[in-house]
Structure 1
């Protein structure tokens, strides 16, 4: 048999049930209703519901069938006219539970859908802070191999069969062998190692994208505004909370596919389930805000990574623990890590809870769809989300209202997260202020430059222009010198024509002394000399050359040694090796040819007084 898609609506006197049965044999159908029980059969469809209120057969009931659309509609009179039926959109909870055909269980549930347990719980004062017992090492070691997780800690041993897909879904390595305290300790260590101060400060100062996404309004913002606006009117005493939230056709079909199940949870476990619900909703609200309602390939990762319940199988004992865990994970893992995103998700979760279980269920169905379409995140549906979708339909609305009130009173600051965020921000602001002051000083100094410096810069430009022209002529000389090794004589002639050192009188008297002519061809020293733009430096260089020539004329026998020492003083690594003595250009035998290692040619032409 196929369970058809259906939906319920009501007015003060009638309950209307709309059933979608395309391709059904309408000639053979059966409808039965009495009290809270409703049955419908039209081959191959079968539907059995447990209604939230009593109906009666008094002749006012009506039924119709639209052949073109394949829709069967039946109107049932209410036993008490004007009575309001709550939870008509909780389709899974309306489906009657399947009867077990096995032997009678050892533990039997009394009442339908655990209503008696819920009623007993309502009589107590609702306190979200549960008792905590000291850690017992013996008790933990005794049950070390029986670690539970999932919704209400009802699952165990799942990941022993799914080791290949474990790492892609959760961060916990051995969930079947790790206790609750061990999970929390490993989670905190992982978060501390993952936190990146540079990433946080980058998002703190450059927050244009974050400011943009914070302006996005989700669907629950408008629904909450309508709910608040309707609370002040007297004729809305019995306003249906679900009237502000509607389900799509796809969502109703998904609800019909769930199996109606009852959950036997003790008080401690029930509180843990509520806290886990808050944790999952916080992660979902962050995902919706940051992507502005759109889904992408990262949606599944964001939700399960930011929820410690889904990623570490964490079980919380208080609301502050949930908020601190979520805040730490937002600042450690996603692309955008800003504290305002934490507070935004916090306020959105409060609004969803205040809208009631219909809004919560709609969010859970969206999460279920995201995980269902992502492999292997579907495992989290089996462990948590499916059970949450079924369980949320059976709880009382005032439970969520009390949970929303407690969550709204909770406070979360940056100091609670344990990452020293305020200290990081203060230090970064001081550095930023110093940089701004330095930039301001530099800007002022540039504006106050004297006009003399501007004139100097102009002269430097003109000297650099002449230097560039000289360099171009020198480059031509270098090409000619390196073209052929056999043209040394022509090179010497050109060098003698271009560079001639005058005779310098060392003593300053009128005596005739032997003089020497020095010819030097050094590309590196020449380029450095010609590239000098400051006139003072140029004069200093020329003075050093003149002093070198004087020393060479006074001590001709130590020519190579003096030249080498002089060049070393100028920072050049030149080495000279005397090659031969031959007749000089004037016919004498005082011509010394020096073979350099770095393209240096040194010629000394000693002449007597008469030849000069």
Structure 2
């Protein structure tokens, strides 16, 4: 267990403990108060404090976790209001084990000893004996009432590996420090998420997509596609409603809670933000179409899995074409941006159909063509889903919060219109996906033709 950095303060009624524990699951926090002893456990951190006076947990007590700053703030009520707690700034004293009371005098008198029984007990004890080092540790733990010593780890100024950044405009780091302790099924980089360079992320993502690709699953969905065809025919409300949609009260509250930030991206960074936006909206289009705009408990996983910038921290662009600032969007780079989204929609979620992916791309073009307000509504719906997930909220923090601010303050309706035109006129070839989709579909067609011929022959024999 890791002893986290912390501070303590007090008011007349309570003691406030502020603990730095970034990238943890707030639902896992355990707080125990035993008079002057306070223990806090949130994997992988453990903190035990011995205070000078008693505390209690009541209705006025609280615990709040801010995932943005990584601080857990615990407020505990003083047993005696107005009582002053000494030395809250002496952290080593607070971490020291609680003093153990001296043992009482024995109240049993030994009248006689059986030498044979004593010898037998001595021999059994020798068999169970531990080495000197372990014995010293046990004795030390026993003297401290089995309270193991704690040491706060100081931040290490020297880093042996380069710090890698990710997220919106590469502004974030540290959100995946303790990823091995969370059930993050989306993260494809594992424990290397914090130290994996952008050049290394893309090969890992592509390899993972190839490993998850299942030709039999795709073949089955292509052969039996009645329900998928219904999903394709469904009309999305954000492509059929008013061009200037109104925001609900809940959406207005979400916008008021967005971070107050100013962005100074370069021209190329702005260009790349528009491209990455396509992959984010594709994931939204897929989930909203397959759930018919009624999110399910799996929606958070689906949204994060389908966005390469979330699951592999690998945003666009995905082409080696030299960027030309004098030109807006090339069809080649638009196609390259959608290929990872297509591949992921064909290898991870339940419904795997190239025709469905094509329809989702068509949705993206319509979202963007309708302007910033429609795009913002899509992003706010995604944000609402992820904010209520105990693990995947992290992707809302490092991507969607900033995108919701940027789309309002920096995005241009003219650029969105030009981007929509480029998406509409871009064609995604099955051969670019890399999994021989044409051959698989041809096999299914041949099997269906043979079955129909056999069925016709059987009918003619019956006649």
* Shorter-chain TM-score range: 0.5 to 0.7
Once residues 169 and 331 of structure 1 are traced to their aligned partners in structure 2, the CA distance between those partners, rounded to angstroms, is 16
Give the CA deviation at 1:274: 1.6
Deviations 1:475-529 (A, max 9, x none): xxxxxxxxxxxxxxxxxxxxxxxxxxxxxxxxxxxxxxxxxxxxxxxxxxxxxxx
Mapped pair 1:211 → 2:229: yes
Matched residue SS, 2:175: coil
Distance 1:251 1:270, change over 3 A: same
Deviation at 1:168, TM superposition (A): 3.0
Q: Does residue 175 of structure 1 match 2:190?
A: no
Secondary structure, aligned partner of 2:208:
helix
Distance 2:399 2:160 in 1: 23
The residue that corresponds to 1:129 in the other structure is: none
Q: Compute the displacement of 1:439 (Å).
A: 3.7
Q: Structure 2 residue aligned with 1:184, among 172, 184, 202?
A: 202
**Residue from 174, 177, 183 that aligns with 1:157:** 174
Displacement of 1:247 = 0.1
Partner of 1:348: 363
1:442 CA drift (Å):
4.1
For 2:194, what is the secondary structure of its paired residue?
helix
- In the other structure, the counterpart of 1:407 is 423
Q: Aligned-pair distance for 1:342?
A: 0.7
Matches of 2:367 and 2:160, distance apart in 1: 38
Answer whether contact 1:144 1:179 (CA < 8 A) is retained.
Answer: no
Give the match for residue 323 of structure 1. 338
Which residues of 2 match residues 506-517 of structure 1 at below 5 A?
Answer: none
1:278 and 1:300 mapped to 2: Cα distance?
18
| Greater length-normalized contact order (CA 8 Å, ≥ 6 residues apart) | 2
Q: Runs of 5+ in structure 2 lacking a partner?
A: 1-158, 318-332
Alignment map for 1:5-404 (pairs within 5 Å): 145-165=162-182, 167-173=184-190, 174-223=192-241, 227=243, 244-317=244-317, 318-395=333-410, 396-404=412-420
Q: CA RMSD in A?
A: 2.0
Distance in 1, matches of 2:240 and 2:274, equals 25
Post-superposition Cα deviations, 1:364-417, rounded to whole Å, max 9, x if no partner, equal 111110001111111111111101111111122212222222222221121211
| TM-score, normalised by the number of residues in structure 1 | 0.45
Post-superposition offset of 1:258: 1.6
Does the residue aligned with 1:168 lie in a helix, a strand or coil?
A: coil
Kindly indicate whether residue 437 of structure 2 is the aligned counterpart of residue 421 of structure 1: yes
Which blocks of at least 5 consecutive residues in structure 1 are unaligned?
1-141, 228-243, 448-612
For residues 448 and 335 of structure 2, what CA distance do their matches in structure 1 show? Answer: 34
Separation in 2 of the partners of 1:143 and 1:180?
A: 18
Q: Does the Cα contact within 8 Å between 1:144 and 1:178 map onto a contact in 2?
A: no
Q: Distance in 2 between matches of 1:436 and 1:405?
A: 42
The more displaced of 153-162 and 325-334 is: 153-162
2:292 match: secondary structure: coil
Matches within 5 A, 1:527-542: none
Name 1:540's counterpart in structure 2. Answer: none
Deviation, structure 1 residue 259: 2.7
Q: TM-score, normalised by structure 2?
A: 0.59
For the 8 Å contact 2:279–2:308, the answer to whether it is kept is yes
List per-residue Cα deviations over 1:141-163 (Å, max 9, x = no partner).
Answer: x9962222111111123211443
1: CA distance, partners of 2:371 / 2:277? 13
How far 1:181 sits from its partner (Å)?
2.4
State the SS of the aligned residue for 1:214.
helix
The 1:397–1:412 alpha-carbon spacing in structure 2 relative to 1, beyond 3 Å, is same
Q: Which has the larger radius of gyration?
A: 1
Extract structure 1 runs of 4+ deviating beyond 4 A.
Answer: none
Secondary structure of 2:268's match?
A: helix
Would the aligned equivalents of 2:209 and 2:347 in 1 still touch at CA under 8 Å? yes
1:199 CA displacement: 1.0
Q: Give aligned pairs, total.
A: 288
User: In structure 1, how many angstroms separate the alpha carbons of the residues matched to 2:294 and 2:343?
Assistant: 24
8 Å CA contact 1:352–1:360 kept in 2: the answer is yes
